[in-house]
Chain A
Amino acid sequence: MSIMMPAADEAVLARRDAIVAALRAIVPGEGVIDTPAEMIPYESDGLTAYRQPPMVVVLPDTTDQVSQVLKYCHEQGIKVVPRGSGTSLSGGALPLKDAVLLGLGKFKRIREIDFDNRVVVTEPGVTNLAISQAVAHAGFYYAPDPSSQIACSIGGNVAENSGGVHCLKYGMTTNNVLGCEIVLISGEILRIGGKSAENSGYDLMGVITGSEGLLGVITEITVRILQKPETARALMVGFAQVEAAGECVARIIGAGIIPGGMEMMDKPAIHAAEAFVQAGYPLDVEALLIIELDGPGVEVDELIGRVEAIAKACGSVTLQISTNETERNLFWAGRKAAFPAVGRISPDYLCMDGTIPRGALPKALTRIRELSEKYDLGVANVFHAGDGNLHPLILYDANKPGEMERAEAFGADILRCCVELGGVLTGEHGVGIEKRDLMPEMFSEIDLNQQQRLKCAFDAQGLLNPGKVFPVLHRCAELGRMHVHGGKLAFPDIPRF
């Protein structure tokens, strides 16, 4: 493991038996797991290169139990790592040796479906897809659709502010959640927001979303649901140059068209996907765009025409338009299978997740190509092109000495490049442990200190998910200290009225 995690508290580890017993008193039966063999499934999340058995796993099934577990850990100074389905790609749910792993997997019930207010009230362990399925009979769905939606939990989505293919038009998790029940590390249970469009007071729901399990444990969520668009059609467009594809993306947006999804793949990704699913992708193009328009039939038909004209003006070399659902799904099949497809051509791969301004796509691709040569590792690129979110897949073989380290260095350089181009370190996967040490590339110490002060307002002892997001941990007392800047009126030359 090449990333430093907070040192284990030996005093806590020495009390392990007593801690397990105390947790059993709160969560009876099979809700406490403490044997090495049974804890193996919890050692890692979607970032499988990192593994660590937790001290103990606890799986409560009521809010009250969550509250008691957290209260106990708070009083005893024990760290807690929350976990949903364990699909995080950034190591957000990586356990700590001396921490309680708090799994929300038993919170599997949808509590209320309210079509009139267009919301679903759900427990956090319900999968993203299950929400859409539960409301599909009335034509509704839950819009954010991370590619792990069959497995990932809505609680994890809130923790990570998950995105997906359709967030260009429909927003990320944060734009689709209205309220929650949250348990603080103190054990206090709070309700924030609800079925109204806005909360009163500060927008705490907004800052809890995407806080990666560092601020509290969510036990109930109210999400917005939408009516499914009447139709969806897709174009599959090939370009001889990546620049032309990038230009096409910019012109579509510039023309005032916001597609439901707009994805790009480069040549290695196209080839891997085609070999895997035979979607009929053109193999002699440098870039492939899949552009989906959704909405009322007349609108989709007209916009398809406009996008087709733009694509041709940008020099497309292949262009297909779906005429039915089978064709549309086939266009998507390769893109959706891109990750496993790449998994077939390489023993291991690292999936990166930076975002750049759309206009910088060609520059970023050139840079990634140069880095690929420098590190002597292959790379396949898939992008959420519409919102500039890159997913370069770095190909390596963990069994070859030094390759994983080289792949990680390559990945870090890609993310630095994203920041240089005016973008950010992570578009939808979260910081976790994966990008933690790169945070100073994007934020100054002052920026990070302000974020950690907020953490102190929720968790002054830093017991919830420590070691994630922030490269350097500060004590709250230190962060809260006001540096006296002295002086009477220190601004003699500022105009006064």
Chain B
Amino acid sequence: MDTLKVRDAKDVEEVVRAAIANDQPLEIVGHGSKRLIGQPMATNAVLDLSALNAVYSYEPNELIITVEAGAPLADVKSLIDAKSQQFAFDPMDTAPLLGTRGGGTIGGMIGAGLAGSRRVKAGGARDHLLGAHAVSGFGDSFKTGGKVVKNVTGYDLCKLLTGSWGTLAVITEVTLKVMPRPESERTLVLRGLDDVTANRVMTAALGSPFDVSSAAHLPSSVFRPAGGALAALASQGQSVTLLRLEGIEASAASRAASLTKLVAGFGAAELIEDAVSTEIWNAIRDVLPFAADGALGAWPVWRIVCPPASGGALGQTLARETGGDVIYDWGGGLIWAALPPKPDAQAATVRSRVEAAGGHATLIRAAEEVRRHLDVFQPQASGLAALAERVRQSFDPKNILNRGRMARGPAT
């Protein structure tokens, strides 16, 4: 298979135009860290963006950074970290979960749009992409948005590009909003709650005025010899519920005290601070209990997004009916479910339960053979699916870019 390592946006235009002329669908990759996500694609050439890795400008006082799509996420994160700033949506690192190498690129971060634990407070990747340059399936380079936070000039195509898994356009450059990194953090830990009760605690915390920035629940079953940061949390086979507070020292401490009182009826909260807390949250964000090299590494993993207050009941039901393990983030609004392997990854059960709860499920990790024969992304109602397909065609009528990655059907 051809790999075309482009050097600039002009190269991308040329490659896409030639691909159109030759009906040669392209797989768009940066580091390839998320190649295992999605329907297996009907592509036969690779467009490699990893050489488009320049940082064009970083202006801490403007809270923006403009970089090329192939810039390594890890490098960009250290760059802004040096100025005490961060991507507030807390992009996850999928490498441990998928068992891939390479930390991924900025383009992949936007194309996948996988936000971490802070999403409940800070929003998702879509809320932090201010502007983009991209090459459409027409082979034309276009821009959308701008380099300022407040902008309503024209349609907000940034929203469509985020989470479109490279099926609409090849992003070549983005301007992202960065935010100050909190000076300190506190995490309240409650032990021994069942999933539904934990969901209630998280709901109360997120509905409080104490500005909770993350809320997660780890049932006891996930503490199989889990290494690293989470091992330190495990105690006497009990579940763990975590509530994070961030900000200036005095504020985090005072809110921790108030929140401890608020949840006192559910148990006495332990307190974890700063670096230890951060490490735990990173482990949850990256779903380390289900890591590819861990005990459940061979199990398929679903990413379920649902109305947060119904997460506990949904996850509990799924775990019981499938014999799987679940982890709750976003106050119950995000469930990671690792299920014992079956040919259909237990899709029928997952999808019917999730739909009934008003959510949607993505099969984020499964063998190619499994992904080939079921819908990786949640199938949509027919009218909505038809509109989405018209939207896709408005960017890429020849279906040249990541053909068939998001929807099974005639296109594959």
Contacts and interface: CB of A to CB of B under 8 A. Distances in A.
**Co-complex (A, B):** yes
Interface of A: 114-118, 139-140, 160-161, 163, 167-168, 171-172, 174-175, 184, 188-192, 194-207, 209-211, 227-230, 250-251, 253-254, 256-258, 295-299, 302-303, 355-359, 384, 387-389, 422-431, 435, 439, 442-444, 446-451, 453-458, 469, 480, 482-491, 494-497
Interface string B202-222: 010011111100000000000
A204 B126 contact: no
A115 B207 contact: yes
Given A117-B307, A357-B62, A494 B15 contact: yes
B378 interface: yes
Contacts of A297: 254
B141 A446 contact: yes
Interface string B1-21: 011111100010011011011
A116 B203 contact: yes
Contact of A456 (B20, B150, B209, B394): B394
Given A116-B308, A206-B160, A427-B150, 15 more contacts: A117-B307, A140-B207, A175-B123, A202-B163, A204-B391, A299-B251, A356-B148, A357-B147, A424-B153, A442-B146, A444-B142, A446-B142, A450-B394, A480-B397, A491-B14
Nearest to B158: A206
A207 B156 contact: yes
Given A200-B380, A450-B142, A358 B61 contact: yes
A198 B208 CA distance: 22
Nearest to A205: B159
A485 B307 contact: no
Interface residues of B, number: 106
B294 interface: no
B153 A425 contact: yes
Contacts of A114: 309
B52 to A, nearest CB: 12
Contacts of B157: 207, 450-451, 454
B344 interface: no
B273 interface: no
Contacts of A454: 155, 157, 160, 391, 394-395
Nearest to A491: B14
A198 B124 contact: yes
Interface stretch (B99-107, B176-184, B227-235): B176-184
13 contacts: A116-B308, A198-B124, A201-B406, A202-B163, A210-B155, A295-B247, A299-B247, A355-B151, A388-B150, A449-B140, A454-B155, A491-B15, A495-B7
Interface stretch (B31-39, B68-76, B188-196, B381-389): B381-389
Contacts of B248: 299, 302-303
Given A200-B360, A491-B4, A192 B384 contact: yes
Interface in B132-148: 136, 138-144, 146-148
A485 B210 CA distance: 58
Nearest to B180: A256
Interface of B: 2-7, 11, 14-15, 17-18, 20-22, 48, 59-64, 84-85, 113, 119-120, 123-124, 126-127, 136, 138-144, 146-160, 162-164, 168, 179-181, 183, 203, 206-211, 247-248, 250-251, 254-255, 258, 305-310, 330, 333-334, 358-360, 362, 377-378, 380-381, 383-385, 387-388, 390-395, 397-398, 406
A356 B146 CA distance: 10
B159 A116 contact: no
Contacts of B155: 207, 210-211, 451, 454-455
A191 B148 contact: no
A172 B130 CA distance: 12
Nearest to B130: A424
B160 A429 contact: no
A494 B211 contact: no
Nearest to A211: B155
B305 A197 contact: yes
A301 B115 CA distance: 32
A201 to B, nearest CB: 5
Max chain A C-beta neighbours (<10 A), residue from B113, B153, B330, B391: B153
Contacts of A489: 18, 22
Nearest to A357: B62
Given A203-B163, A457-B393, A494-B4, A424 B146 contact: yes
A448 B150 CA distance: 20
Nearest to B389: A457
B15 A190 contact: no
A264 to B, nearest CB: 14
Contacts of A197: 119-120, 124, 305, 308, 330, 333-334
B61 A253 contact: yes
B280 to A, nearest CB: 21
A359 B64 CA distance: 12
B197 to A, nearest CB: 14
A484 B159 CA distance: 29
A296 B153 contact: no
A490 B150 contact: no
Contacts of B123: 171, 175
Contact of B384 (A190, A356, A444): A190
Contact of B18 (A230, A422, A455, A491): A491
A387 B397 contact: no
Contacts of B255: 296
A453 B393 CA distance: 9
Given A174-B156, A457-B390, A359 B61 contact: yes
Contacts of A161: 152, 156
A456 B20 CA distance: 21
Given A117-B307, A117-B308, A197-B120, A207 B152 contact: no
B254 to A, nearest CB: 5
A453 B395 CA distance: 8
Nearest to A448: B154
Given A250-B61, A494-B5, A426 B151 contact: yes
A476 B362 CA distance: 33
A124 to B, nearest CB: 18
Contacts of A296: 209-211, 251, 254-255, 258
Given A424-B151, A454-B155, A494-B15, A201 B388 contact: yes
Contacts of B143: 443-444, 447
